[in-house]
Amino acid sequence: MLQRIAIICSAAVLAACGPVSEHAQVEQDGLVYCSEGNPEGFNPQLGTSGTTVDATSAQIYDRLLDYDDKRQQFVPALASGWQALDDGTRYRFNLRKGVSFHNTDWFEPSRPFNADDVVFSFNRWLSPQHSYHHVNGGRYPFFRSSGLIRLIHSIERIDEYTVDITLNQPDSSFLANLATDFAVILSEEYAQQLLSSHQPEQIDRLPIGTGPFQFELFRKDFIIRYQRHEGYWREKPEIKRLVYVITPNANKRMLKLLTGECDVIPYPLVNELSKLDQNAEIEVGSSVSPNVSFWAFNTQRPPFDNVLVRRALAHAVNRPAIVQTIYDGNARLATGMLPETSWAYSDAEQTYPYNPGKARKLLAEAGYPNGFSMTIWAMPVQRAYNPNAHRMAELMQADLARIGVDATIVSYEWNTFRQRLVDGQHDSVLIGWVADNADPDNFFRPVLSCAAARSGNNRAMWCNPEFDKLLVAAISESDVDQRKHLYQFIEDMVKQQAPLVPIANSLRYQAHRSDIEGVELPPYGGINFRYARRVNDDSL
Amino acid sequence: MIRYSLRRVVLLIITLWLLTLLLFSLNYWYPGNPLTNMSGITADNLIAYQQAELARGFDQGLLSQYLKFLQHLINGDWGISLVTEQPVFDEIKPLLGATLELGLLAMALALFLGIPLGVYAAIQQRGLLDRIIMGLSLSAYSIPVFWLAQLFILLFALKLNWSPISGQINPLYAIDVQTGSVLVDILMSDSPYKTAAFYNALHHLWVPVVVLAIMPLTMLIRIMRNSVLDVLQQNYIKAARARGLNDRHIMFRHTLPNALQPIVRQLGLQFSVLMTNIIITEVIFNWPGVGSWLVKSIYERDFPVIQAGLLVLASLILLVNVFVDVIHAWRYPQIRKEIDAE
């Protein structure tokens, strides 16, 4: 009997080893990414969820232009070149020739990419009369919130490889918006084919693009499978197969990375990062994500309408200590509204240092020598830019007590919370902002302009016509150096007026096995596997 | 025998009918619109909704709604999932394959190890090995599956690295899902790495199979041991001994066939326990089976899927139980007499 058990065991061990060489070949050619959730669909135009963007934008699709964050400039992608005409109200894009769409079981392209595809892709979200506009929900949140829908007047095909986009007014953030993960190019030919077979909704389920990987299969809650696009117009990816294994549990993701079942994982647990870093088989990558968490004052309410009070409060909180405690060292202390990754960023310190003595003096100057009482609203949800707003509020409460300000912490359910913020019921609030694109404008106009104050997105309820004039001047300017100068001016104004106190720019993490190279985590947008490859291990 | 089988089948049909009644009523007890709960078609899609209203008899009374419900059920039109908007019936087929693969392998392992170990313990009665086997099986029986699974993952996957943590196969092998049973799918596929894929699948399979097999295995060992001891006391064994037959002959010709009778009777019950445990095991090992699908659908309030999952698991348990009962009665005529005598 024991003998038999021994035989069974040895069989099991044999099974565990298997034919090593074949297995190594399969592994060498592929990469497993353990993603954190199911994508909502396979078209980033329809949503803003990071999971969907990670699963689609950089893999399946290409855009007209890309943003190179190292050189901080726009580089050609599907458009080989572009010119701004008519004082920046018309842009002409020359399109690349010989770009092929994916050839799959469900679609065989008969022609390469051309102007019709661009016109189709834009009109889908731009024009409510378009036959695809209402397919699969018909909501295009990115294009609405970034103002592209209002900005673009029309898009026109000039010839097979030229399109013109006419704007309602000049806007220097226009190109930045086109370089986001949402402005992808779909296939017009595929759309027509689906329309004639009466299943237009398939366009977002069985996607066709020009990107480096083509979609193969999606099993909800289990896997998404891609294979290399053999006719890719740029350098082909080195890996032949790309698989997303859907693993929502963060603990399980970490364990699977340790056992080698995942090659790359997003969002590792923050408190396990140091342990992971010590493991020789694992490398942790990070990038400063374009976000900022801040403490905004309701400038419509006394005493926060007094700039001296706002400056006093800014001096009163010990931001370095807060960042250390809340983010466990995984965030950078903000030096202004703009994060380090922005091209308009400057090293100059544009915030108030911790100085309770000065804070007390300023309060006395403002007429509150004995302090006052106020509320701090702490958002009830975790976000990358602020993992624990309530704890942050408690730390600030202690700091404020030192200058005689008595703070109470307030929190509501998230939807109620936001509604009441819009109504302006708060004294101050801990919240933040994640940028959608690389343009510095995205950190000011949606957060601090008068228009934002009217729509309720301006948490400081701060409306300063002079500030708005500066913002408009900055986006109408096209010279980069000049713009950089203007944004420094704007930063300065935010510091002087102190409608809010920037706290931190948090990092975004990704961990991978050490034999994987080239997985890109661009600061703006989703993960990119185009340059990913497996380094040959000498022991194999 | 025929009468007995008929009685069992009639009982099966009645139970299944009660099950459909329960499922039908669930649609009204769940929150929301009964038609949406039943068909997965929401009122957003007005045309499809109106069509479903007609097809499902929602313009008529409850009775005709129930009859239409049965009709759809039998035709394999189980509505669409509220989450994926795919037909539930098509979704369930590969999942069922995966669940059956896991369950059958676990049951086979339990039988393969449990019967010899039980016999061995009985022969060695009160010997050291008997005590060890019985002690181990009692302690293993008292370990809950969810804990055992985590323990095995910790030991075999993380510490020893003998197996992966979850899944059916390394997804890079790109085996197309046809039956859902990964081993069968590999054999049917045209992958150039068939052998490697097969080994890789076994590599993934063995931990969940062992975890699932432990509970029925310990039960089988104990039942087998007691049953063998019981048979060994019978007069016909004594008579065989008196005739001078050797021990091996007595064991294989007389003891074992009779001792197996309670095992066969237990199989149905053990299968039900196995199906309960399989739900937990599938969730822990990310196994793409009916169990993990059912659990997820409960989180997502996907009512058409919840119903389909319940229906499939419940009918599977019922069918296996009836099947085992019939085999049992066919193989051991004394049972039929007992039942008839009642």
Q: How far is A39 from chain B (nearest CA, A)?
A: 11
Taking contacts as CB-CB distances below 8 angstroms, the residues of chain A near B117 are 1
Global pTM value: 0.77
C-beta atoms of A19 and B166 within 8 A:
no
| A291-506 classified as CATH 3.40.50.2020 | no
Chain B interface includes A16 (CB < 8 A) = yes
A291-297/A428-434 β-pairing: antiparallel
Give mean pLDDT, residues B127-133.
86
CA distance B265 to B270: 9
pLDDT band at A540 (very low <50, low <70, confident <90, very high): very low
CA distance B185 to A495: 64
The whole-number pLDDT of residue A206 equals 93
Phi and psi at A248, nearest 5°, equal: -70, -25
Chain A interface includes B120 (CB < 8 A) = yes
Between positions 17 and 76 of A, the ones with CB within 8 A of B are 17-19, 22-23, 25-27, 29-32
Q: Which of A16, A26, A219 sits opposite B162 (nearest CB)?
A: A16
CA distance A265 to A51: 12
> Does residue A164 sit in helix, strand or coil?
strand
- Is a pLDDT exceeding 80 seen at residue B337? no
pLDDT tens-digit series, residues A75-95 = 999 999 999 888 889 999 999
Q: Which of B153, B172, B288 sits opposite A26 (nearest CB)?
A: B172
Full DSSP string of B86-109 = SBHHHHHHHHHHHHHHHHHHHHHH
Residue B249 makes CB contacts below 8 A (sequence gap 6+) with: B240
Closest chain A residue to the Cα of B284, Cα to Cα: A252
pLDDT tens-digit series, residues B229-250 = 999 888 888 888 888 888 888 8
- Domain boundaries defined on chain A: 5-43+211-270+509-539, 65-190, 291-506
Which stretch, A86-90, A322-326, A516-520, B314-318, has highest mean pLDDT?
B314-318
pLDDT band at A97 (very low <50, low <70, confident <90, very high): very high
ipTM: 0.83
C-beta atoms of A15 and B199 within 8 A:
yes
Common-topology check for domains A5-43+211-270+509-539 and A65-190:
no
Structure tokens, B324: 């085992």
Interface with B, mutate which of A198, A259, A279, A513 (most B CBs under 10 A): A259
Q: How far is A204 from chain B (nearest CA, A)?
A: 13
Which top CATH class is A65-190? alpha beta
pLDDT band at A382 (very low <50, low <70, confident <90, very high): low
Q: What is the CATH number of domain A5-43+211-270+509-539?
A: 3.40.190.10
Chain B interface includes A245 (CB < 8 A) = yes
Chain B interface includes A198 (CB < 8 A) = no
Q: What percent of chain B has pLDDT over 90?
A: 30
- Is a pLDDT exceeding 60 seen at residue B100? yes
A241-246/A30-35 β-pairing: parallel
Q: How far is B183 from chain A (nearest CA, A)?
A: 13
The whole-number pLDDT of residue A267 equals 76
pLDDT: which is higher, B305 or B190: B305
Give mean pLDDT, residues B168-175.
86
CATH architecture of the domain with range B95-301: Orthogonal Bundle (1.10)
Question: Mean pLDDT of all residues in chain A?
Answer: 85
pLDDT tens-digit series, residues B208-222 = 999 999 989 998 998
- Domain boundaries defined on chain B: 2-74, 95-301
C-beta atoms of A256 and B117 within 8 A:
no
Closest chain A residue to the Cα of B81, Cα to Cα: A220
pLDDT band at A319 (very low <50, low <70, confident <90, very high): very high
